[in-house]
């Protein structure tokens, strides 16, 4: 009998030890995962019991929390919600958080370890615990110009400060209203979310960061960079520019968009080829350089890499294992080359900053509940994509695109602007995408204050699609806003 009791006691002890170990594992090692799990009502009510911190542009809150009289003590509100939705995201009791609301949740919710002393002081003082604030890099005038320029058409705009990598504009169209998804009415939230997800235009898609499309002729900037970096080309090098070329081992011909040669005797210079966006010239250059040189140059600008700004951006892609015909098409931004608007803005920014590509970022500061600075963004370099001399030469070539070539609609009186247009072919029966990459001012190498990329998916529904007609005016407006014009 005593032996049985001892055995039972030993079994019970083992069970208690196992229970203690499990509780310790869950509460210590899995605490973060449990707290972040969707539908964790305890965490939701805990976070809604304290005032969530604001998301700021300068001193202006574009997302803030106001007191309520219902079970959830605070309601999240967004001023100009659709305008800033790609950056702020939403904070929903049903679908969780997206955007900055998700990536900076520990600061905004007040759960960041750096707030421990502050939380204790607030409790002893009898004040409610508050979240900290997050200040963004966006330029309000540039953001408004970008969103207004898209005018409801399907597309994206990204503007970057070439010197730091700070994102000055992050616009997506069509957009959505985060106020609807952040209400305290679950049925209304689900109804709105279902409507957004059923919309074929995908308003919840963060197009500037995750929409990857063929960049078309804007990729000729990368091919031109590879040519200059090879040491075999300068802006005045004579290159072939016939009306059409037959692609190697293929029955297909590649033609210029004008249908004619790019210069007398089927020849032109590298600078003039960029100015008039000569397909045959850049296809020939691409085949001469080879796929490895093009890929290496593209990767120096950020292709085939992932970026967190802190929102995660999709990888832009330059494919592997290309044959000569595919290499020719890739050199003009077609075949399987794809890019985000962020990536093409980084290309322009790198050229405008003496060949140095900076890591892009969206958060400039995190602050305590009393708006004391906790951290400042520290700009970091991604790569030296080009030598300063070659970057200056390519920037000058971009100026010729705007002054004498296909990018005339990007001209700004009193400002030297560099640019590159693009019209990227898509699947048969669908209109091409309209692109523009711009840099300003472009008269002094390394002194550019803004690089911008604009893309209108399938031309934004326009009957006649060209980068100069559709995308360049938007880029111009954004550059003017950054420059205070």
Going 136 to 84 to 464 to 425, the CA torsion angle's sign is positive
Nearest to 189 by CA among 200, 199, 178: 178
Residue among 64, 109, 217, 466 flagged as catalytic: 217
Contacts of residue 78, defined as CB under 8 A and 6 or more positions apart, other chains included, come to: 62, 63, 84, 85, 88, 90, 177, 178, 179, 182
Three-class DSSP category at 12: helix
83 class by beta-carbon count within 10 Å (0-12 exposed, 13-18 middle, 19+ buried): buried
In this structure, what DSSP letter does residue 467 have? I
CB of 173 closer than 8 Å to CB of 154: yes
Nearest to 390 by CA among 479, 262, 300: 300
Going 462 to 466 to 468 to 471, the CA torsion angle's sign is positive
Encode 357-396: b = buried (16+ Cβ within 10 Å), e = exposed. Answer: bbbbbbbbbbbbbeeeebeebeeeebbebbeeebbbbbbb
Q: d(Cα 148, Cα 418) in Å, to the nearest integer?
A: 22
Phi then psi dihedrals of residue 322, to 5 deg: -95, 140
9 given a catalytic annotation: no
Three-class DSSP category at 157: strand
- Calculate the dihedral angle through the C-alpha atoms of 195, 198, 202, 205, rounding to the nearest 10 degrees: 80
Going 363 to 364 to 370 to 373, the CA torsion angle's sign is positive
CB of 196 closer than 8 Å to CB of 242: no
β-sheet bridge partners, residue 438:
419, 452
Question: CA of 161: how far to CAs of 170, 303, 343, 446, 452, in Å?
Answer: 12, 19, 13, 11, 9
CB of 445 closer than 8 Å to CB of 413: no
Nearest to 306 by CA among 426, 171, 212: 212
- Residue positions annotated with a catalytic role: 217
């Amino acid at each position: 009998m005593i032996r049985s009791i001892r055995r039972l006691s030993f079994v019970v002890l083992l069970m208690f030890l196992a229970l203690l170990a499990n509780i310790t594992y869950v509460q210590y090692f899995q605490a973060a995962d449990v707290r972040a799990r969707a539908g964790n009502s305890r965490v939701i009510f805990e976070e809604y019991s304290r005032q969530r911190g604001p998301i700021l542009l300068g001193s202006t809150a574009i997302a803030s929390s106001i007191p309520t009289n219902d079970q959830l003590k605070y309601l999240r509100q967004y001023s100009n919600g659709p305008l800033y939705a790609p950056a702020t995201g939403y904070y929903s009791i049903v679908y969780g958080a997206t955007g900055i609301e998700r990536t900076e949740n520990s600061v905004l919710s007040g759960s960041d370890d750096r707030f421990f002393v502050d939380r204790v002081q607030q409790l002893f003082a009898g004040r409610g615990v508050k979240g900290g604030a997050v200040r963004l890099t966006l330029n309000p005038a540039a953001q408004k110009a970008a969103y207004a320029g898209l005018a409801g058409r399907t597309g994206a705009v990204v503007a970057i400060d070439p010197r730091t990598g700070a994102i000055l504009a992050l616009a997506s169209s069509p957009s959505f209203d985060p106020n609807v998804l952040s209400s305290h009415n679950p049925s209304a939230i689900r109804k709105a979310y279902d409507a957004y997800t059923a919309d074929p235009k995908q308003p919840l898609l963060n197009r500037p960061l995750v929409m990857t499309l063929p960049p078309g002729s804007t990729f000729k900037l990368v091919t031109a960079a590879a040519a200059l970096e090879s040491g075999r080309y300068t802006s005045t090098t004579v290159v072939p520019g016939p009306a059409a070329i037959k692609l190697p081992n293929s029955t297909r011909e590649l033609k210029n968009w004008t249908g004619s040669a790019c210069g007398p005797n089927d020849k032109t210079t590298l600078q003039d080829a960029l100015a008039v966006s000569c397909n045959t010239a850049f296809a020939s250059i691409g085949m001469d350089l080879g796929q490895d040189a093009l890929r290496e140059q593209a990767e120096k600008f950020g292709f085939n890499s992932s970026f967190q700004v802190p929102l995660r951006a999709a990888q832009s892609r330059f494919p592997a294992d290309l044959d000569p015909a595919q290499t020719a098409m890739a050199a003009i931004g077609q075949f399987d080359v794809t890019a985000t608007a962020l990536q093409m803005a980084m290309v322009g920014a790198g050229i405008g900053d003496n060949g140095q590509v900076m890591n892009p970022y969206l958060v400039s500061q995190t602050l305590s509940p009393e708006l004391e600075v906790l951290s400042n963004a520290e700009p970091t370099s991604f790569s030296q994509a080009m030598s300063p001399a070659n970057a200056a030469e390519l920037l000058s070539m971009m100026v010729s695109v705007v002054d004498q070539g296909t990018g005339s609609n990007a001209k700004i009186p009193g400002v030297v602007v560099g640019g590159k247009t693009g019209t990227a072919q898509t699947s048969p029966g669908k209109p091409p995408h309209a692109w523009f990459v711009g840099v300003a001012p472009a008269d002094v190498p390394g002194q550019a204050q803004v690089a911008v990329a604009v893309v209108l998916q399938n031309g934004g529904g326009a009957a006649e699609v060209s980068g100069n007609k559709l995308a360049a005016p938007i880029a111009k407006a954004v550059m003017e806003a950054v420059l205070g014009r």
